[in-house]
Chains A and B, each alone.
Chain A
Amino acid sequence: MSNTYYEFFCPVKVIAGKAALEHIPYELSGLAAKRPMIVTDKGVRAAGLLDPVIAACEESGLEIVTIYDDVPPDSSTTVVRDIAGVYRKEKCDSIIAIGGGSAIDTGKAVNILVSEGGNDIAKYTGAGVLKRPLKPFLVVPTTAGTGSEVTSIAVITDEKKGVKLPFTSSYLLPNAAVIDPRMTLTLPPHITAATAMDAMTHAVESFTCMAKNPLSDAYAAAAIKKVSRSLLQVMDNSKDSDARLELAQASTMAGIAFSNSMVGLVHSLGHATGAICHLPHGLCMSLFLPYVLEYNLETIREPLGELLLHLEGPEIYAATPASRRAEASISALRKLRDALYKRCQLPRTLKETGKVTEDQLDQIAEMALDDGSIMFNPKEVTLKDARAVLQRAWA
């Protein structure tokens, strides 16, 4: 389907590579910030990942005023309010979020409160509520997958009402994303695999869904190439910091791609499965990816075929007849999943997760149909279709 109109936007400065953390003091001073607060979680602190950040700042005479390290995996409105309270009490003037999706989303939400005032983050939910830039905000991702450092959305749970509040505004984007290979070096194998497959899915869906455009395509294709080349390398040698950096960059690039061209049915099914069966997001992505591509196949044959070049490299691409490339791309992804299963038992079917029962599939299908990303799936999905894909992903 030719798309004759598109928009592309990414104003985040990307600071990536060796000794990237040491650029934090300079970046903050450029934003006139002198009293940063770190927002992170216990896991990051326990892994010793705060040390290089603190050292980098101290060496430049920049004091980290306070550290909040108790962000839960599913951040809530209360947590956001508490952190904003600490920020105000300590007279901070900027935020450094260090962690995965939850810490980053929390940082974004805290930034709304401390910039706009008040204690009730629910007031700012929705799209386009914010009308002006927020406080200086840096993000240091410690997983290579979510791409949250370049997306203009944050999701926070309102525990009292039991709902997830979405916040969307380009003002949520950080001033800079700092990608340093030291930050992902200690990520355990199964999280490395799952988060990298999340990035892979962002790129593949962005390249094959309805809002694809030439700019997001370029980012998506490059991200797919990096994940394909580096993921197994990292799985075999977790201390390979060059390959780690490749994955981290791929995640950011895939994030830029999908925040401009959206994702599709893999995410709809994944969000529903995650919510109902409490499975990690990346795992669900890896699990559903080939089944959804098979479902979409006839609508996405051309772009999916093109991806073979980035998945398998020029030799295999050239040796595969054009009419077989789309199928070959799916096989390449299945092969990668098998390799990951061998190395860290990353499940390939719902049954393999051991956490889903067959009688939950109807409920998952229903919920997937209400997910926003289903609007961008290239093929219209009915309840029956969603159920059929789930059945194929069962075992």
Chain B
Amino acid sequence: MLAKRIQPLASQAKRLYVELMFQVMGRALQAVSEVDSEVQKEAQALPEGFLFEMMVMPDGSKLIVEYIGDGRFHYHGDSAPRPVDVSIKFKHLTHAFLVLSFQEKTSVAFANDRMLVDGDVSYAVRMTRVLNRLESFILPRIVAERAVKEYPADLHLPEKLISAAQIYLKIATHFVQTVRA
């Protein structure tokens, strides 16, 4: 308990940041899946009702999305309606922070044993590709290049600008809806 009280501010900030990033990613994932055909194509190999989780061990922030068919994801916030199918678990808050603040690429984090995959690896691989695509969409190119192994060559600027705008718009409305509800 004492440790909890004297927890440095930096750690709390990290926690908040990770939580916020999970929320942004969850909403963005839902939004991207409504507009991007690449993400939809990847998603279509998943079984309907497939639940995907990203979380910080042992019991930290969570991001849960469900594949609802037709290439679409639904963001569930941080609670799953039933046991998840695939979980990507960060071993420590710091590792999640490194990845979500784009200081360590997702693929490098995997290679560095920063996170574990629980569940069917082939689905995890697919979700990693979806997340990469997502990152290249929602982040400015310079940051995205740090986050993913390779910046997709087929993501031309106009397409990116238009899609990113669409996505931001959707995230914004989603936020507003949440606040209203």
Contacts and interface: CB of A to CB of B under 8 A. Distances in A.
Is B truly associated with A?
yes
Interface of A: 1, 3, 5-7, 126-128, 166, 209-211, 261-262, 369-372, 374-376, 379-380
Contacts of B149: 379-380
A7 B129 CA distance: 25
Contacts of B119: 126
A128 B115 CA distance: 13
Interface in B46-60: none
Contacts of B111: 3, 209-211, 261-262, 375-376
B118 interface: yes
A374 B125 contact: yes
Interface in B101-135: 107-108, 110-114, 116-119, 121-122, 124-126, 128-129, 132
B144 interface: no
Contact of B125 (A1, A209, A370): A370
Contacts of A372: 117, 121-122, 124-125
Given A128-B116, A379-B149, A166 B108 contact: no
Contacts of B110: 210-211, 375-376
Contacts of B121: 166, 372
Contacts of B107: 210, 375-376, 380
Nearest to A378: B149
B122 A5 contact: no
Contacts of A376: 107, 110-111
B112 A370 contact: no
B148 interface: yes
A1 B108 contact: yes
A142 B7 CA distance: 55
15 contacts: A1-B108, A3-B108, A7-B113, A127-B118, A210-B110, A210-B111, A211-B111, A262-B111, A371-B122, A374-B125, A375-B107, A375-B125, A376-B110, A380-B148, A380-B150
B108 A379 contact: no
Q: Please classify the interface of chain A as helix (H, G, I), strand (E, B), loop, or mixed, using the class held by over half of its residues.
A: loop
Interface residues of B, number: 23
Interface string B82-109: 0000000000000000000000000110
Nearest to B151: A380
Quick one: which of B114, B122, B126, B148 has the most chain A CB within 10 A? B122
Quick one: which of A128, A166, A372, A376 has the most chain B CB within 10 A? A372
Contact of A127 (B45, B117, B122, B126): B117
A177 B35 CA distance: 53
Contacts of B150: 379-380
A299 to B, nearest CB: 9
B116 A375 contact: no
A369 B125 contact: yes
A79 B116 CA distance: 29
Given A379-B150, A380-B150, A370 B122 contact: yes
A127 B125 CA distance: 16
Nearest to B122: A370
A380 B112 CA distance: 17
Nearest to B150: A380
Contacts of A374: 125
Nearest to B126: A370
Contacts of A262: 111
6 interchain residue pairs of minimum CB distance: A211-B111, A370-B122, A372-B121, A380-B150, A210-B111, A380-B149
Given A127-B117, A128-B116, A375 B108 contact: no
Contacts of B117: 127, 372
A8 to B, nearest CB: 10
A262 B107 CA distance: 13
A207 B114 CA distance: 20
A368 to B, nearest CB: 10
B108 A210 contact: yes
A379 B149 CA distance: 7
A382 to B, nearest CB: 8
A376 B105 CA distance: 12
Given A211-B110, A376-B111, 18 more contacts: A1-B108, A3-B111, A3-B112, A5-B112, A127-B117, A209-B111, A210-B108, A210-B110, A369-B125, A369-B129, A370-B45, A370-B126, A372-B117, A372-B124, A376-B110, A379-B149, A380-B132, A380-B149
